[in-house]
Amino acid sequence: MNSENYDFVIVGAGSAGCVLGNRLSASGRYSVLLLEAGPADRYLWIHIPIGYAKTMFHPVYNWGFYTDPDPNMHDRRVYWPRGRGLGGSSSINGLIYVRGQAQDYERWADAGNAGWGWHDVLPYFIKCEHNTRGASEYHGSSGPLWVSDIGEKHELMEAIIRAAAERGVPFNDDFNGTIQEGVGYYQLTTRNGWRCSTATAYLRPARRRANLRIETGAHAIGIVFDGRRAAGIRYIQRGREREARATHEVILSAGSLQTPQLLQISGVGNAKQLQVLGIPVTHHLPGVGENLQDHLQLRLMYKVSKPITINDDLQSPWRKMRMGIKWILFRRGPLAIGINQGGMFTRMLKESDSPDIQFHFATVSAEMAGAKPHPWSGCTFSVCQLRPLSRGTVFVRSRDPRAALGIQPNYLSHDTDRRCAVASIKYARHLAAAPALREYLAEEYRPGSAVRSDEELLDWARDYGATIFHPSGTCKMGCDPLAVVDARLRVHGLAGLRVVDCSIMPTLVSGNTNAPVIMIAEKASDMILQDHAAHPTPLVDLSPTI
Ligand SMILES: Cc1cc2nc3c(=O)[nH]c(=O)nc-3n(C[C@H](O)[C@H](O)[C@H](O)COP(=O)(O)OP(=O)(O)OC[C@H]3O[C@@H](n4cnc5c(N)ncnc54)[C@H](O)[C@@H]3O)c2cc1C
């Protein structure tokens, strides 16, 4: 294989990129280069689920972005972690396996994206999955991505489930089955107590293929164009600039922040804004970096009256040792879980005909997700609105690929989102006050009893709201003027260039985003292989679509 000429060049070995690396190289027919800016995933804490806390602020395995000061959040800059290295964010995430609601995908299809309705995408969710519960109408048991039950019940989580029942929310044994609504335990992307990232699920079995080359420490700095056709990628590795040519396609899978960044520094974006920065315009595509959506988490924390939380486990050397032994011998216990044990999907807004908020329940509390736990027994009820209407942007400030990226989430800028935030904090308190939790919750630590009126609750949300790590939508799929890719994920108006990652979501799914991104990459792999089997290159219609 000529080291600098490939059929496909993929940028970013994250949730999406690892799937593509595997699937596009599987037949042996195509040569594939997978470029990853970060390192290999050799850090042990990536692979042990509780290591989530160790990678949350890690300078090597985490890009550690901050948003710009957000005027809607009292000008706060919000910390936005993103995975860096093989597996990308699937190597550092909270491991929760949730697909969203059937209606999310119907909305995508209704917006003009043929082939993305629920019945189109369900087979790909099933194809990905190795669910330890076995195969069913909704689940797969022979895919590479392991999905497992938590394996043991926690006394506090059981009380939360009873409290939810007291508030009229039924138990749900499977948030990815017939119905999402309800309360219960999450399933996690773990395999026998180890994290199952896309690097371990998809890349590890493929890495010895002669037609797949994986380059780590390879930071893409620009797309090479031959006219309006993407012909390759320029990247920096070990201080040297290199170029990899793609005879078939360049595929961007650098995530919701860095895919639009790479397009913009390559001259694909809003022409006026690029010109101001002195970036030569390759193609005017005003939607690049727009339509940013994220789930804002509001973390209510409680002091717990019994020493049964992870805070307590971590205070005691003996309990820490017991946790370690439990994981080594049985692959169970807090080390096998990550952070959140259970969740709940329910409705807040009158106008919603399906769950519009999600809870993440953790038997641990800390000032920030992944930070050092409090020295007292504590737990967290984190609640987020599932389909926010606020929209933000991602924008480059200079043509220098290493310059800080502008990120403006505009959280809570829409009235509906503010209404939902206030209602969901009140609802979390209503849940916490249920009889079943009386013997467990001693005191509300945050927001705290002084925060009462709607104005105070909203102010608290602006002061303390944080990301639940689901930025998406910045290169949205569609056919309107702000769409960046079409329903086959080809960049509008350019040839040989696709985007396959979380950025293509036209609207955020009602749940966590890892499983949906893996589904997107599975479906994209099929589309790419079909397109190349059916047509000689170039594949993409060069006539402008916008
Ligand atoms: C802390 C955290 C917790 C989360 N918890 C959950 C959870 O519990 N459940 C869930 O479903 N989802 C969770 N998510 C979200 C989910 O993991 C992401 O939505 C998903 O992984 C995004 O996939 P992606 O392929 O779009 O991007 P990523 O997986 O982020 O991959 C992008 C890759 O591109 C690389 N890259 C970027 N720029 C360049 C460049 N210029 N050149 C080369 N390589 C580049 C990056 O290093 C990275 O490896 C979490 C995310 C985080 C960060």
Question: How would you write the pLDDT of the chain (546 residues) with one tens digit per residue?
Answer: 445 899 999 999 999 999 999 999 999 999 999 999 999 999 999 999 999 999 999 999 999 999 999 999 999 999 999 999 999 999 999 999 999 999 999 999 999 999 999 999 999 999 999 999 999 999 999 999 999 999 889 999 999 999 999 999 999 999 999 999 999 999 999 999 999 999 999 999 999 999 999 999 999 999 999 999 999 999 999 999 999 999 999 999 999 999 999 999 999 999 999 999 999 999 999 999 999 999 999 999 999 999 999 999 999 999 999 999 999 999 988 899 888 999 999 999 999 999 999 999 999 999 999 999 999 999 999 999 999 999 999 999 999 999 999 999 999 999 999 999 999 999 999 999 999 999 999 999 999 999 999 999 999 999 999 999 999 999 999 999 999 999 999 999 999 999 999 999 999 999 999 999 999 999 999 999 999 987 655 444 433 333
Among 97, 396, 475, 514, say which to mutate for ligand 1: greatest number of ligand atoms within 8 Å of CB.
514
Torsion angle (degrees, nearest 10) of CA 224, 228, 229, 232: 0
Structure tokens at 242: 């290199």
How far apart CA 505 and CA 344 sit, in angstroms, is 23
User: What are the sequence ranges of the domains in the chain?
Assistant: 1-53+80-140+195-293+392-402+472-546, 151-185+296-385+412-464
Q: Ligand 1 centroid to 246 CA: how many Å?
A: 24
**C-beta 84 within 6 A of ligand 1:** yes
Q: Is the CB of 250 under 6 A from ligand 1?
A: no
Let me know: does 261 contact 394? Beta carbons within 8 Å: yes
Q: Using a 6 Å cutoff on CB, does residue 22 contact ligand 1?
A: no
Query: Do the beta carbons of residue 453 and residue 447 sit within 8 Å?
Result: no
User: In Å, what is the CA distance from 428 to each residue of 295, 356, 400?
Assistant: 17, 14, 44
Contact 175 CB / ligand 1 (< 6 Å): no
State both tokens at 427: 């609802």
Give residue 536's pLDDT. Answer: 54
Residue 88 to residue 252: CA distance in whole angstroms: 13
Say whether 468 sits in a helix, a strand or coil. coil
Task: Kindly give the distance from the C-alpha atom of residue 536 to the centroid of ligand 1, in angstroms, as a whole number.
Answer: 32
The tokens describing 197, both together, are 């990232």
CB-ligand 1 contact for 21 (6 Å cutoff): no
Please enumerate, as own/partner, the contacts of 225-229 that have beta carbons within 8 Å and a separation of 24 or more: 225/266, 225/267, 225/282, 225/494, 228/282, 228/283, 228/493, 228/494, 228/495, 228/542, 229/494, 229/495, 229/496, 229/497, 229/538, 229/542
Tokens of 453: 């009126």
pLDDT at position 151: 84
| Residue 361 confidence (pLDDT) | 98
Residue 539: the pLDDT is: 43
468 CA from centroid of ligand 1 (Å): 12
- Give all strands (DSSP E) within 218-289, no chain letters: 218-226, 229-237, 240-252, 268-269, 283-284
List phi, psi (to 5°) of 103. -65, -30
DSSP 434-449: SGGGTTTEEEEEES-T
| Residue whose CA lies nearest to ligand 1 atom number 31 | 14
What is the DSSP secondary structure assignment for residue 100, as one 8-state letter?
-
263 lines ligand 1 (CB under 6 A): no
Contact 331, 125 (CB under 8 A): no
Q: From the alpha carbon of 220, which atom of ligand 1 is closest?
A: 42
- The secondary structure element, H or E, covering residue 456 is helix 454-464
For 48-96, the pLDDT digits (tens) are: 999 999 999 999 999 999 999 999 999 999 999 999 999 999 999 999 9
Ligand 1 centre distance from Cα of residue 370 (Å)? 16
500 lines ligand 1 (CB under 6 A): no
| pTM of the predicted protein model | 0.97
Give residue 242 CA to ligand 1 midpoint distance, Å: 25
Smallest CA separation from ligand 1 atom 16, residue: 514
Distance between Cα 469 and ligand 1 center (Å): 9
Atom of ligand 1 nearest to the CA of 502: 26
If you ran DSSP here, which 8-state letter would residue 2 be given? -
262 CB near ligand 1 (under 6 Å): yes
Which among 312, 299, 272, 529 is positioned nearest to 421, based on CA atoms? 299
Q: In this predicted model, what pLDDT tens digit does every residue of 385-437 receive, in sequence order?
A: 999 999 999 999 999 999 999 999 999 999 999 999 999 999 999 999 999 99
Going from the C-alpha of 316 to that of each of 189, 319, 321, 510, the distances in angstroms are 28, 5, 9, 38
Question: Which ligand 1 atom sits closest to the C-alpha of 95?
Answer: 8
Backbone angles phi, psi at 314, to 5 degrees: -80, -10
Whose alpha carbon is nearest atom 47 of ligand 1?
84
* CB of 274 sitting under 6 A from ligand 1: no
CATH architecture of 1-53+80-140+195-293+392-402+472-546: 3-Layer(bba) Sandwich (3.50)
DSSP per-residue string spanning 499-523: E-SGGG-SS--SS-SHHHHHHHHHH
Q: How far is the CA of 384 from the centre of ligand 1 (A)?
A: 19
**Both structure tokens of 379:** 């737990």
Residue from 9, 93, 202 to probe ligand 1 pocket by mutation (most atoms less than 8 Å from CB): 93
Ligand 1 within 6 A of 360 CB? no
Distance set, CA 351 to CA 106, 348, 355, 390, 420 (Å): 18, 9, 11, 17, 11
Cβ–Cβ under 8 Å, residues 311 and 362: no
Cis peptide before 170 (omega within 30 of 0): no
Catalytic residue among 283, 470, 492, 532: 470
Q: Does the domain formed by 151-185+296-385+412-464 have CATH 3.40.50.170?
A: no
User: Can you give the pLDDT at residue 535?
Assistant: 60
Greatest Cα pair distance, the chain, in angstroms, is: 69
User: Distance, CA 526 to ligand 1 centroid (Å)?
Assistant: 21
Gap between the Cα atoms of 183 and 358, Å rounded: 10
Annotated catalytic residue 47? no
Q: Does 35 sit in the ligand 1 pocket, CB within 6 Å?
A: yes
